[in-house]
């Protein structure tokens, strides 16, 4: 059982000497993923008692804490006697700055979407492949300087897109990139507000791929795929939106609304012409021109 009161960041800090290896590892996790339940932190670092003690001390020192939410919302989403959700606080960022920068994609999404996005990023980064995260994408020589220097490098202006997650995956001989959109099942499939629907998002991704903006914005040599991860039990209405031209670049998969740190996201994804998963994509089930280009090669 974890006590809610143990993780409140109110009053003055009562722990001033954070900085051991386990504490820094926790801060790095929270810097990379925005929000994480303690169950994910325990899974990543092991040694439950030692990690739990470190979480408690870091919270007492106001290095980490519960998300800044209205009280009613916080109690609704962070129940007592369950795993708690943590975020990095300013004191934690100051301490972590001494240990080098951590490049994240981030976002200004609301709490429940941000939590699900962070959990998905955590799981993707633990697939059995070489993962290329935001720091690798931006450090590559082929990534334009304009993107590297931008305040929001993963924000695409034309067409207007800001993928929830962008990752590369390599099996040693082949690298593919994914733009991933996280849908909690609340975003309308079609809406009168043209920008606020899954349909408009698919259309903008279609334009992005058609105009090869991925080359000029990120320096990708091969078109990335677009994966919609949704908590909707049925993905048919979403798949029906995928274009015929370029249909092999669009996939959707249904995920549980509450993810576990042991969940597997390499499960089959559904496209217009059947299923595909990350392992099959890496092994070249879809023929690509220049697909053996490796970022940084």
Domains of the chain as residue ranges with CATH: 4-99 (1.10.10.10), 111-282 (3.40.91)
Which range among 48-57, 62-71, 99-108, 279-288 has the greatest average pLDDT? 48-57
- What are the backbone dihedrals phi and psi of residue 128, each rounded to the nearest 5 degrees, phi first? -80, 45
| Calculated CA dihedral for residues 277, 29, 294, 280, nearest 10 degrees | -10
DSSP string, 9-33: --SS-S-----SHHHHHHHHHHHHH
- Burial class of residue 289 (count of CB atoms within 10 Å of its CB; 0-12, 13-18, 19+): exposed
Q: Mind listing the pLDDT tens digit for each residue in 108-133? A: 678 889 999 999 999 999 999 999 99
In order of 121, 291, 295, the CA distances from 150 in angstroms are 22, 28, 20
Q: Which residue has the tokens 């970022």?
A: 295
Mean confidence (pLDDT) of the chain = 85
Report whether 214 contacts 179 (CB < 8 A): no
User: How do strand 85-88 and strand 35-37 relate by DSSP bridges?
Assistant: antiparallel
**DSSP H/E element including 107:** none
How far lies 97's CA from each of 24, 27, 41, 133, in Å? Answer: 11, 10, 20, 19
Grade residue 268 by pLDDT with cuts at 50, 70 and 90. confident
Please state the φ and ψ torsions of residue 161, each to the nearest 5 degrees. Answer: -145, 150
This prediction has a pTM of: 0.87
From residue 136, how far is each of 44, 131, 241 by CA, in Å?
Answer: 21, 9, 32
pLDDT at 80: 52
pLDDT in tens, 225-264: 999 999 999 899 999 999 998 889 999 999 998 899 999 9
């Amino acid at each position: 059982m974890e006590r809610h009161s143990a993780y409140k960041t109110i009053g003055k800090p009562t722990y001033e000497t954070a900085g051991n290896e386990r504490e820094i590892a926790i801060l790095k996790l929270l810097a990379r993923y925005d929000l994480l339940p303690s169950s994910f932190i325990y899974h990543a670092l092991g040694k439950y008692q030692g990690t739990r003690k470190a979480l408690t001390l870091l919270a007492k020192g106001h290095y980490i804490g519960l998300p800044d939410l209205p009280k009613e919302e916080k109690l609704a989403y962070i129940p007592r006697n369950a795993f708690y959700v943590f975020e990095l606080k300013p004191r934690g960022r100051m301490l972590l700055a001494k240990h080098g920068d951590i490049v994240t994609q981030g976002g200004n999404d609301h709490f429940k979407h941000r939590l699900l996005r962070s959990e998905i990023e955590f799981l993707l980064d633990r697939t059995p492949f070489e993962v290329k995260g935001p720091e690798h994408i931006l450090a590559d020589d082929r990534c334009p300087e304009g993107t590297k220097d931008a305040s929001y490098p993963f924000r695409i202006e034309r067409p207007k897109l800001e993928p929830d997650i962008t990752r590369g995956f390599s099996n040693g001989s082949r690298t593919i990139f994914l733009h991933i959109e996280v849908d909690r099942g609340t975003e309308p499939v079609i809406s009168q507000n043209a920008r606020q629907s899954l349909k408009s998002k698919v259309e903008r991704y279609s334009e992005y791929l058609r105009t090869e903006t991925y080359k000029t914005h990120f320096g990708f040599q091969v078109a990335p795929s677009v994966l919609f991860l949704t908590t909707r039990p049925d993905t048919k209405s979403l798949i029906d939106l995928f274009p015929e031209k370029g249909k092999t670049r669009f996939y959707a998969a249904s995920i549980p609304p509450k993810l576990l740190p042991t969940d597997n996201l390499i499960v089959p994804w559904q496209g217009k012409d059947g299923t595909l998963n990350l392992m099959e994509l890496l092994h070249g089930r879809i023929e690509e021109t220049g697909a053996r280009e490796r970022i940084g090669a």
